[in-house]
Amino acid sequence: MTQAKARAAYERLAGRFARIGTLDEAGAMLGWDASAMMPPGGAAARGDQLAVLAGLGHELLTAPDVAADLAEAEEAEDPDPWRAANLRLMRHAHTRANALPGELVEAAARANSACEKIWREARRAADFSRVLPAFTEVVRLAREEARALGAALGLSPYDALMDGYQRGIGAADVAPIFAAYEKFLAEALPRAEAVAASHPAPRRPAGPFPVAAQAALCRRLAERAGLTFDHARLDSSEHPFCGGTPSDVRITTRYDEADGLKAVFAVLHETGHALYERDLPPAFARQPVGSAAGMAAHESQSLIVEMQAVRSDAFLGWLGPELAGTFGPDPAYEPENLGRLCRWVERGFIRVDADEITYPAHVILRFRLESALIEGAFEPADLPAAWNEGMKALLGIVPPDDALGCLQDIHWYDGVFGYFPSYSLGAMAAAQLMATARRAVSGLDAALAVGDLGPLRGWLAENVHAKASLHGFNELLRTATGRPLDPAAFQAHLTERYLA
Amino acid sequence: MTQAKARAAYERLAGRFARIGTLDEAGAMLGWDASAMMPPGGAAARGDQLAVLAGLGHELLTAPDVAADLAEAEEAEDPDPWRAANLRLMRHAHTRANALPGELVEAAARANSACEKIWREARRAADFSRVLPAFTEVVRLAREEARALGAALGLSPYDALMDGYQRGIGAADVAPIFAAYEKFLAEALPRAEAVAASHPAPRRPAGPFPVAAQAALCRRLAERAGLTFDHARLDSSEHPFCGGTPSDVRITTRYDEADGLKAVFAVLHETGHALYERDLPPAFARQPVGSAAGMAAHESQSLIVEMQAVRSDAFLGWLGPELAGTFGPDPAYEPENLGRLCRWVERGFIRVDADEITYPAHVILRFRLESALIEGAFEPADLPAAWNEGMKALLGIVPPDDALGCLQDIHWYDGVFGYFPSYSLGAMAAAQLMATARRAVSGLDAALAVGDLGPLRGWLAENVHAKASLHGFNELLRTATGRPLDPAAFQAHLTERYLA
């Protein structure tokens, strides 16, 4: 009797979450449009549209019925692990949503959308002061949200924000991993630089790289990696991203006439995200348990494609002739040179251009700055100075202007704090998953050598994608690889690729 | 005291309608995306998204507070005519929305979206039977809606649907105008054909017409007509349309490699719609009174650009060299030939390709069929036969297949019934407005002769666009031209252009 009542309450909740998930899909599409299609004059109205959608989703999640249904559904343990996990995630979402008044959610969505537009101009002008007023408002609202969420979840304000991107992972989990990496880097970076310097400098492809040719190649490579364009689009935007919905994924990239490789790697990165979305279980579409397992998990899927598979010697041996076929013959596309180009190590200012070894340093900087910013240890106006100081300490370089410094990423200016650690947790998880996949799937590297990501994707679809949010991040890794996140695989990968 | 309470209730309603209007904007953008961008695999999810948005908008409009606020706001007459009109339109929208259960609205949105996708295939295959099951469901739900709306508004079912597109205009207003036109046509069409036959046949431009060149020209012409692309986009879709929102208008066209003129006229048509949206009063954005005055009014604005201005001898004299500059010199672009090409009269199957004289016959056919279909006088399965019979009676021709017959238009397959009369009411209103504008604005034709639509647009912005929905269709025409809709101006225009 209790069982039947609990199940009925669960089904009511599932109906409601499907509606919320559908609203989220609408918001995701409008967000994609804002970055990939929208003329600048549409920005103000779009901010309103996204704010109203966010507000309505919040109302649906916090309606009085939900608390009652949750309590009723929780009265009997559901024997189905998917439904049981879904219910736990509904409770978690409800707790998060109730911690935030609807007006705060709408105000933040509006402020973020407004600030993001100004950031685009400020970055172009390398002028932090231009975005400071809008950014100060974004930080003010983010702190308010973080405090309210932290109180409801029993977490510190910053951990409460991190929890929104990678449930169950907090600063205390990340800080020691990052401290250990900082130590590894201090030794490994000079060695990697020495190794790179001991080889002839890699030759850069000469071009020209017409945008249309790049776009056609990128599309073909995404298809080769398993993405089908009956359920996807590829467009361009200021910053590459993967948006849309599982049945209609929208990936974007940025084309540079002077560099034909950047867009290729960016598109393959976004394709990794897109494949994850495409492989999520349709039976739990729009349900919390049917979503990707968080942002670190998501990043592991983009990086296992971009960094583990595509930059492997096997795949580069296939990619070289493809590049030559598109842009014309060039000795730079010879596998050996392409390999040295991909293993190039350089202390640079821009995160998205960073090599695999220095990339975590960029993340560590952002993790330390954003946690301090949210906890109130410093103010938005002090960001440029703190940034430059941090870069100096971690990589020994100081950006000449804020476009190459604290203005380079969209995240904070769009109200996203607590996301950055996901990149490096994802990189570490990708190495761990790849090591297991190599052992589990015979012929994986042989397939890569003919440009075929099918075997890898098959293993990921079964062991990661299809699991959606049934498990948390560490449990997902444990079921797939036998261990929770263990940064050893990433350091082993770097050692093999850069220090040999 | 009553005044202040009434005003407070009005402001609450205005806030609510702003929210509903913002949701409608989100839906409009997703609708544009579905036609212009979406991969086919996204269709099912998009149908759900639009259905949920429609359902939420409906809930906001029918929430218990609204009836109370409306009653309170109506207790004192607002001295401001805009607010007073807005309140009347809110009441009207509320009556319409309350007539329809939320589940019916969602079911119809879902059925329409599903049917529209199947229609695309059915039209490609010229196979009505393929879409019949989905279409039967669309008609069933449309009839149900029409009956419910009619009961609430005291209108016949079909008039209740017409009211949704052009408030206050019903079958009894349209039928005599259309009967008179049928009579005019019976005499005018043979005469127009005789006039056309007395001239040498117009030469068709030879091409080639590369899509990229067409698109660039279309963009330039839309800009020349006054559209600025900081608040607009031009893309392609199966069927040209104008979507989006006032600050972010999205127009589309269809490019035909074999015909360089079709897209040009379609884009200028959609530009007329777009300018109307751009000029709506921002102070009443997202309010009922701040919207365009209905679909006949909207069509008058696309047709005053496309048919009255662009196809005038003055404008064609400027357009000819532009076409030659884009596609290469061709005697077909000489003004005299271009004029004869634009005045070509031919009994054809396709409405959107029809000339100005026969176009209303296509509309009359659809008006008669859709009113009979909604009133239950015949069933969806009988549509192809009824269509062919009607074409025979009106224009003396019978389409060889349903792609050229009852499958040609998206409207019915997307659940749109009662819209078609707007096209011809709009054509008639456009002629009436143009006659007045010519008298009111000195140098209007001289401006057209140098490709400048500025003076016409200025007059329309002031006398039509800025009035939004302050007046109904006939009152709008009366304040702008001194008379309600009077088809005499249209017949005079046709007589001058085709029978001279």
Residue by residue, DSSP assigns A299-320 as: HHHHHIIIIIIITSHHHHHHHH
Residue B270 is among the residues annotated as catalytic for this protein: yes
> Crossing angle for the helix pair B488-498 and B421-440, nearest 10 degrees?
80
The first and second tokens of residue A322, run together, are 């493809």
**Residue B42 in contact with partner chain A when CB distance is under 8 A:** yes
The first and second tokens of residue A13, run together, are 């909740």
Residue B248 to residue A46, Cβ atoms within 8 A: yes
Residues in A 182-221 with any Cβ partner in B closer than 8 A = none
Q: How many Å is the Cα radius of gyration of chain B?
A: 23
Bridge partners of residue A249, in order along the sequence: A232, A244
Query: Which of B113, B163, B89 lies closest to B421 in space, CA to CA?
Result: B163
Contacts of A45 in chain B (CB under 8 A): 22, 25, 245-248
Q: What pLDDT shows up at residue B100?
A: 87
The whole-number average pLDDT for the span A434-438 is 98
Q: 3-class DSSP state for residue A474?
A: helix
Å from A459 to nearest chain B CA? 24
Interface test with A, best of B53, B56, B231 (most A CBs within 10 A): B56
Please check whether residue B93 is in contact with residue B66, taking contact to mean a CB–CB distance below 8 angstroms: no
Give residue-wise pLDDT tens across range A8-61: 999 999 999 999 999 999 999 999 999 999 999 999 999 999 989 998 998 999
CA angle A492, A497, A498 (to 5 degrees): 100
Backbone angles phi, psi at A175, to 5 degrees: -55, -50
Q: pLDDT in tens for each of the 500 residues of chain B?
A: 689 999 999 999 999 999 999 999 999 999 999 999 999 999 999 999 998 999 899 899 999 999 999 999 999 999 999 999 999 999 999 999 999 887 898 799 889 989 999 999 999 999 999 999 999 999 999 999 999 999 999 999 999 999 999 999 999 999 999 999 999 999 999 999 999 899 999 999 998 999 999 999 999 999 999 999 999 999 999 889 999 999 999 999 999 999 999 999 999 999 999 999 999 999 999 999 999 999 999 999 999 999 999 999 999 999 999 999 999 999 999 999 999 999 999 999 999 889 999 999 999 999 999 999 999 999 999 999 999 999 999 999 999 999 999 999 999 999 999 999 999 999 999 999 999 999 999 999 999 999 999 999 999 999 999 999 999 999 999 999 999 999 999 999 999 999 98
Residue A247 to residue B45, Cβ atoms within 8 A: yes
Residue B204: burial class (beta carbons within 10 Å; 0-12, 13-18, 19+): middle
Å from A55 to nearest chain B CA? 10
Residue A38 to residue B230, Cβ atoms within 8 A: no
- Alpha helices, DSSP H only, in A257-358? 262-278, 295-303, 313-327, 335-342
Contacts of A40 in chain B (CB under 8 A): 230
Bridge partners of residue A236, in order along the sequence: A253
Query: Which of B268, B239, B269 lies closest to B255 in space, CA to CA?
Result: B239
Q: Which of B106, B145, B270, B277 is an active site residue? A: B270
Nearest chain A residue to B22 by CA: give it: A49
Å from B32 to nearest chain A CA? 11
Structural element, H or E, at residue A252: strand A248-253
Q: What pLDDT shows up at residue B96?
A: 93
Contacts 24+ apart (CB under 8 A), B333-336: B333/B205
Interface test with A, best of B19, B121, B223, B248 (most A CBs within 10 A): B248
Interface test with A, best of B20, B22, B35, B230 (most A CBs within 10 A): B22
Q: Which amino acid is at A281?
A: P
Torsion of CA A61, A63, A68, A74, to 10 degrees: 0
Å from B184 to nearest chain A CA? 45
- Name the band, by pLDDT with cuts 50, 70 and 90, for residue A174: very high
**Residue A24 in contact with partner chain B when CB distance is under 8 A:** no
Catalytic positions of A are 270
- Name the band, by pLDDT with cuts 50, 70 and 90, for residue A142: very high
CB nearest to B29's CB, from A33, A39, A244:
A33
CB nearest to A39's CB, from B26, B29, B230:
B230
CB nearest to B42's CB, from A19, A30, A248:
A248
Q: 3-class DSSP state for residue A281?
A: coil
Å from B5 to nearest chain A CA? 25
Residue A259: burial class (beta carbons within 10 Å; 0-12, 13-18, 19+): middle
What is d(CA A361, CA A178) in angstroms, rounded to the nearest whole number? Answer: 9
**Residue B19 in contact with partner chain A when CB distance is under 8 A:** yes
What is d(CA A291, CA A285) in angstroms, rounded to the nearest whole number? Answer: 7
Residue B37 to residue A233, Cβ atoms within 8 A: yes
Please check whether residue B270 is in contact with residue B448, taking contact to mean a CB–CB distance below 8 angstroms: no
Å from A26 to nearest chain B CA? 6
Nearest chain A residue to B229 by CA: give it: A39
Please check whether residue B62 is in contact with residue B98, taking contact to mean a CB–CB distance below 8 angstroms: yes
- Does residue A241 surpass a pLDDT of 80? yes
Q: What pLDDT shows up at residue B194?
A: 93
Q: What pLDDT shows up at residue B2?
A: 87
Length of chain B counted residue by residue: 500
Q: Classify residue A205 by its DSSP letter.
A: P
- Does residue A335 surpass a pLDDT of 80? yes
Q: Classify residue A450 by its DSSP letter.
A: T
Nearest chain A residue to B249 by CA: give it: A42
Q: Which amino acid is at B407?
A: L
Give residue-wise pLDDT tens across range A475-495: 999 999 999 999 999 999 999
Query: Which of B193, B213, B204 lies closest to B334 in space, CA to CA?
Result: B204
Contacts of A56 in chain B (CB under 8 A): 23, 56
Contacts of B26 in chain A (CB under 8 A): 26, 30, 49, 52-53
Chain A, chain B: beta-carbon pairs less than 8 Å apart:
96
Contacts of residue B213, Cβ cutoff 8 Å, sequence gap at least 6: B326, B327
Å from A32 to nearest chain B CA? 11
Nearest chain A residue to B50 by CA: give it: A26
Residue B229 to residue A39, Cβ atoms within 8 A: yes
Residues in B 215-274 with any Cβ partner in A closer than 8 A = 228-233, 244-248
Q: Which amino acid is at A116?
A: E
DSSP string computed for A219-242: HHHHHHTT--TTSEEEEE-SS--E
Q: What pLDDT shows up at residue B102?
A: 75
Contacts 24+ apart (CB under 8 A), A30-33: A30/B26, A30/B29, A30/B30, A31/A243, A32/A243, A32/A244, A32/A250, A32/A252, A33/B29, A33/B33
Å from B415 to nearest chain A CA? 22
Interface test with A, best of B32, B52, B223 (most A CBs within 10 A): B52
Q: 3-class DSSP state for residue A87?
A: helix
Query: Which residue has 């101006």 as its token pair?
Result: B489
What is d(CA A315, CA A330) in angstroms, rounded to the nearest whole number? Answer: 18
Interface test with B, best of A29, A236, A250, A279 (most B CBs within 10 A): A29
Is the CATH number of domain A168-500 1.10.1370.30? yes
Å from A297 to nearest chain B CA? 24
Nearest chain A residue to B246 by CA: give it: A42
What is d(CA B470, CA B153) in angstroms, rounded to the nearest whole number? Answer: 20
Per-residue H/E/C for chain B: CHHHHHHHHHHHHHHHHHHHHHHHHHHHHHHHHHHHCCCHHHHHHHHHHHHHHHHHHHHHHHCHHHHHHHHHHCCCCCCCHHHHHHHHHHHHHHHHHHCCCHHHHHHHHHHHHHHHHHHHHHHHHCCHHHHHHHHHHHHHHHHHHHHHHHHHHCCCHHHHHHHHHCCCCCHHHHHHHHHHHHHHHHHHHHHHHHHHHHCCCCCCCCCCCCHHHHHHHHHHHHHHCCCCCCCEEEEECCCCCEEEECCEEEEEECCECCECCHHHHHHHHHHHHHHHHHCCCHHHCCCHHHCCCCHHHHHHHHHHHHHHHHCCHHHHHHHHHHHHHHHCCCHHHCHHHHHHHHCCCCCCCCHHHCCCCCHHHHHHHHHHHHHHHHCCCCCHHHHHHHHHHHHHHHHCCCCCCHHHCCCCCCCHHHCCCCCCHHHHHHHHHHHHHHHHHHHHCCCHHHHHCCCCCHHHHHHHHHHCHHHCCCCCHHHHHHHHHCCCCCCHHHHHHHHHHHCC
Contacts of A42 in chain B (CB under 8 A): 231, 244-245, 247-248
**Residue B26 in contact with partner chain A when CB distance is under 8 A:** yes
What is d(CA A136, CA A381) in angstroms, rounded to the nearest whole number? Answer: 8
Residue B45 to residue A30, Cβ atoms within 8 A: no
Please check whether residue B77 is in contact with residue B53, taking contact to mean a CB–CB distance below 8 angstroms: no
CB nearest to A39's CB, from B22, B49, B233:
B233
Q: Which amino acid is at A214?
A: Q
CB nearest to A26's CB, from B42, B49, B248:
B49
Please check whether residue B251 is in contact with residue B281, taking contact to mean a CB–CB distance below 8 angstroms: no
Torsion of CA A163, A167, A170, A176, to 10 degrees: -140
Nearest chain B residue to A247 by CA: give it: B42
Bridge partners of residue A256, in order along the sequence: A259
What is d(CA B110, CA A170) in angstroms, rounded to the nearest whole number? Answer: 42
Q: What pLDDT shows up at residue A461?
A: 98
pTM score of the predicted model: 0.91
Query: Which residue has 């007589």 as its token pair?
Result: B495
Q: 3-class DSSP state for residue A250?
A: strand
Asked whether the ipTM of the predicted complex exceeds the cut of 0.85, the reply is: yes
What is d(CA B471, CA B479) in angstroms, rounded to the nearest whole number? Answer: 9
Contacts of A25 in chain B (CB under 8 A): 45, 48-49
Q: How many Å is the Cα radius of gyration of chain A?
A: 23
**Residue B279 in contact with partner chain A when CB distance is under 8 A:** no
Q: Classify residue A279 by its DSSP letter.
A: T
